[in-house]
C-alpha cells in the first residue's frame, strides 16, 4: 500500500515512513502538538514544499521543531509584545494561510506570516474582550445609577406621603406620584 504525506508530498509505504529516522523524529514532535493541531499543521507544512519535489523529512522536522514550542507555550512574541494564543487561533491562522495559498509566494521560507496572522487574531480577541468588559462596566454603572435614582425617588415619595399623613391628607395616587416626581426632576 502506497501512502502520500499531505504535508510533504512524500510517497511510500507505511513501513518506509516509520523506518526513516527523520520521519520518526517528525512524528514524535507531531503527536505532542496541543489541541488537535496535528492535521492543520501537516497541511500548513505543505506550503514549504519546493515545486516539483517532496519536502524532506529533515526540513519538515526542523520547521515543526520551530513551531511546536510556540504552540505549546500558547504565546507568540510579535512587535515587542507577547500575545496569548489558543489552539483555535493557531487553527484559524493556518486555515487563513491555506485559503490564501494562491496569493502566497511559495515555498514559504519561515513562519513569519503565520505568526503575524495569529498575533492579529490574538489582538482582535483581546480587543473584543476589552470592549465587552467596558460595555459590562458601563451597563453596570448605568444599572447602579438607575437603581440609585429609583431609590432616591422612592424616598421622596415616601417622605411626601408621610408629611401628608401628619397633615391628615390622603396618600398620593400613582398619577400624583408621577406628577410630583416630574416637578422634582425639573427642579433638580
Task: Give the confidence band of 145 by pLDDT, cuts at 50, 70, 90.
Answer: low
Quote the CA–CA distance of 12 and 34 in Å, as a whole number.
27
pLDDT at 17: 65
Which grid cell is 21? 529516522
Q: Do 5 and 23 contact (CB within 8 A), yes or no?
A: no
Which grid cell is 31? 503527536
- Full-model pTM: 0.64
Q: Do 23 and 14 contact (CB within 8 A), yes or no?
A: no
Quote the CA–CA distance of 42 and 10 in Å, as a whole number.
12
Cell 516509520 identifies what position? Answer: 18
Which grid cell is 145? 445609577
Query: Is the confidence at residue 186, as pLDDT, over 90?
Result: no
Query: Is the confidence at residue 1, as pLDDT, over 60?
Result: no
Amino acid at each position: 500500500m502506497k501512502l502520500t504525506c499531505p504535508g510533504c508530498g512524500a510517497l511510500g509505504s507505511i513501513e518506509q515512513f516509520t523506518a526513516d529516522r527523520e520521519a520518526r523524529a517528525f512524528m514524535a514532535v507531531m503527536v505532542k502538538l496541543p489541541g488537535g493541531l496535528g492535521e492543520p499543521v501537516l497541511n500548513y507544512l505543505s506550503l514549504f514544499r519546493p515545486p516539483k519535489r517532496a519536502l524532506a523529512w529533515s526540513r519538515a522536522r526542523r520547521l515543526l521543531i520551530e513551531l511546536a514550542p510556540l504552540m505549546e507555550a500558547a504565546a507568540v512574541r510579535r512587535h515587542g509584545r507577547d500575545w496569548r494564543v489558543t489552539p483555535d487561533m493557531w487553527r484559524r491562522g493556518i486555515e487563513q494561510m491555506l485559503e490564501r495559498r494562491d496569493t502566497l509566494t511559495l515555498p514559504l521560507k519561515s513562519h513569519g506570516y503565520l505568526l503575524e496572522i495569529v498575533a492579529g487574531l490574538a489582538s482582535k480577541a483581546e480587543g473584543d474582550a476589552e470592549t465587552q468588559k467596558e460595555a459590562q462596566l458601563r451597563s453596570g454603572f448605568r444599572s447602579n445609577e438607575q437603581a440609585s435614582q429609583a431609590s432616591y425617588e422612592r424616598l421622596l415619595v415616601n417622605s411626601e406621603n408621610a408629611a401628608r399623613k401628619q397633615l391628615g391628607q390622603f396618600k398620593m395616587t400613582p398619577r400624583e406620584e408621577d406628577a410630583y416626581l416630574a416637578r422634582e426632576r425639573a427642579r433638580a
